[in-house]
Structure 1
Amino acid sequence: MAYSEGQLHIPDTGTLREDLITFADSLAAYLDTLFGKALVRSMSAAADEPALAESREEFWRSRFDLARIMIDRAVARGELPEDTDPAYVLEVLVAPLHFRALLTRRPIDGHLMRKAP
Structure 2
Amino acid sequence: MTLTAVTDADFGTEVLAADRPVLVEFTADWCGPCRMLAPVLAEVAAEESTRLKVVQLDIDTNPETVSRYAVLSAPTLMLFRSGEPVKSMVGARPKRRLLQDLEEYLEPALTGH
The TM-score, its normalising length taken from structure 2, stands at 0.30
- Relative to the length of structure 1, the TM-score reads 0.29
Structure with more of its chain in strand, by fraction? 2
Structure with greater helix share of residues: 1
The structure with more radius of gyration? 1
